């Protein structure tokens, strides 16, 4: 199949490489140029997003944020300037669910189809083709694209209509941030009360307090291992999507707002590049007490 891929960054490059390795013909466009992983394959580099959309049947986007997707789709020489009749735009970026619905509607008015298909699993998942993919869009289009998505991910779920994939991704990032907050407050409490937070973590695994976050990020907090992982700056972008969408919908999210403020405190400490488990450092800063290094 002729597949367009716009955005060949840390995530996009390995994802596109999986498509090329499977024999698909790629037309790419990226600010960062052609990555080495694609150099060995039959890949056509296009100057403009419009060219990609003219040459490919499926146009995949993997971009940093909502304005980038808006610009690539509807900016000058953008995807929407091509004839999109029967073509499918697949936005795998993590962006606003609300604006995604508008983007999808405009693409459909131009004769195209649209899937929002944000991923989780990070660079490791992108390289291993083991990403979780949360999809919003028409069932028939989802089924048509499933073989392509399966080249990049494993746990692929159609949540519902356009925007619902992005909504699920935002919900995922909210739960991850707030569960980090939960584990951070509890382990800090344990340490401050004189208990060994590593033993408390161990005792709580398996019970009702158990979570992937207690297992992985709880261990990071105890071992003081805050190399990313997943950077706080990226998680702040995801919580901004939650909070700005919530404001547009008049929905109060008090704990999500608090988590964002704690990330701000990490950034104030020079920690925008720390792993998100370092949220515990914002709590430690608040009380001038830290979990002792093990």
- Please give the positions annotated as active site: 169
Instruction: Tell me whether residue 76 or residue 287 sits nearer to its own copies (CB atom).
Output: 287
Residue closest to 130 by CA, chosen among 14, 262, 220, 4:
14
State the number of CA atoms in the 13 A half-sphere of 5 facing the CB: 30
SS3 100: helix
The correct pick among 8, 117, 159, 266 for binding its own copies (CB under 8 A) is 159
**Shortest separation between residue 206's beta carbon and its own copies, angstroms:** 6
Q: Contacting its own copies (CB under 8 A), which of 130, 157, 247, 294?
A: 157
Under a CB-based contact definition with an 8 Å cutoff, are residues 35 and 41 in contact? no
Query: How many of the chain's residues bind its own copies (CB under 8 A)?
Result: 72
- Annotate each residue in 82-111 with x if it binds its own copies (CB under 8 A) or - if it does not, as one string: ---------------xx-------------
Residues within window 174-203 making contact with its own copies, judged by CB under 8 A: 174-179, 181-183, 185-190, 192-196, 199-200, 202-203
Q: List the one residue from 209, 233, 234, 272 that touches its own copies (CB under 8 A).
A: 209
Contact track, its own copies, 10-49, x by CB under 8 A? ----------------------------------------
Find the binding residues for its own copies in span 122-151 (CB under 8 A): 132, 134, 136
Q: Which of residues 256-275 bind its own copies (CB under 8 A)?
A: 256, 258-259, 262
Minimum separation from the CB atom of position 166 to its own copies (A)? 8
Distance from C-alpha of 35 to C-alpha of 244, rounded to nearest angstrom: 33
Q: Which of 33, 76, 140, 254 binds its own copies (CB under 8 A)?
A: 254
Cβ-based nearer residue to its own copies, 37 or 290: 290
Contact 26, 16 (CB under 8 A): yes
Instruction: Output the CA angle 20-25-26, nearest 5 degrees.
Output: 75
The span from the CA of 32 to the CA of 11, in Å, is 12
Q: CB-wise, 87 or 276, nearer to its own copies? A: 276
> How many whole angstroms separate alpha carbon 276 and alpha carbon 242?
17
Binding segment for its own copies (CB under 8 A), chosen from 10-18, 35-43, 77-85, 206-214, is 206-214
Token look-up 């150099």 returns 39
Q: Are strands 131-136 and 119-120 parallel, antiparallel or unpaired?
A: antiparallel
Instruction: Give the contacts of 239 (CB within 8 A, at least 6 positions apart).
Output: 173, 174, 177, 256, 259, 260, 263
Task: Give the largest CA-CA distance in the chain.
Answer: 66
For its own copies, which is the closer residue by CB, 127 or 158? Answer: 158
Residue whose C-alpha is closest to residue 242's, from 224, 227, 257: 257
Please say which residue, 37 or 132, places its beta carbon nearer to its own copies.
Answer: 132
Considering only residues 210-249, where is the footprint of its own copies by CB under 8 A?
Answer: 210-214, 216, 242, 245-246, 249
Window contacting its own copies (CB under 8 A); options: 30-38, 64-72, 102-110, 157-165? 157-165
Angle subtended at Cα 126 by Cα 123 and Cα 128, rounded to the nearest 5 degrees? 110
Supply 220's token pair: 């990071």
């Amino acid at each position: 199949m002729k597949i367009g891929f716009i955005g060949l960054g840390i995530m996009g490059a390995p994802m596109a490489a999986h498509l090329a390795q499977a024999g698909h013909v790629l037309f790419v466009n990226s600010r960062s140029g052609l990555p080495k992983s694609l150099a060995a394959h039959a890949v056509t580099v296009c100057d403009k997003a419009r060219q990609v959309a003219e040459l490919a049947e499926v146009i995949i986007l993997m971009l940093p944020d909502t304005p980038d997707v808006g610009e690539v789709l509807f900016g000058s020489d953008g995807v929407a300037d091509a004839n999109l009749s029967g073509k499918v735009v697949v936005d795998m970026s993590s962006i606003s669910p609300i604006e995604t619905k508008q983007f999808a509607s405009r693409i459909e008015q131009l004769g195209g189809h649209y899937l929002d298909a944000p991923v989780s699993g990070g660079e490791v998942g992108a390289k291993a083709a083991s990403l979780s993919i949360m999809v919003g869009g028409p069932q028939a289009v989802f089924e048509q694209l499933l073989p392509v998505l399966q080249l990049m991910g494993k746990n692929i779920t159609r949540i519902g209509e356009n925007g619902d994939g992005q909504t699920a991704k935002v919900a995922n990032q909210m739960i991850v941030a707030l569960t980090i907050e939960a584990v951070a407050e509890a382990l800090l409490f344990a340490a401050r009360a004189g208990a060994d937070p590593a033993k408390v973590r161990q005792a709580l695994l398996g019970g009702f307090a158990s979570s992937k976050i207690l297992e992985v990020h709880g261990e990071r907090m105890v071992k003081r291992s805050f190399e990313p992982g997943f950077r706080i700056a990226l998680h702040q972008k995801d919580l901004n999507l939650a909070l700005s969408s919530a404001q547009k919908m008049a929905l109060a999210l008090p704990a999500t707002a608090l988590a964002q403020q704690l990330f701000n405190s990490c950034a104030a400490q020079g920690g925008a590049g720390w792993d998100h488990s370092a949220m515990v450092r914002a709590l430690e800063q608040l009380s001038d007490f830290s979990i002792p290094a093990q």
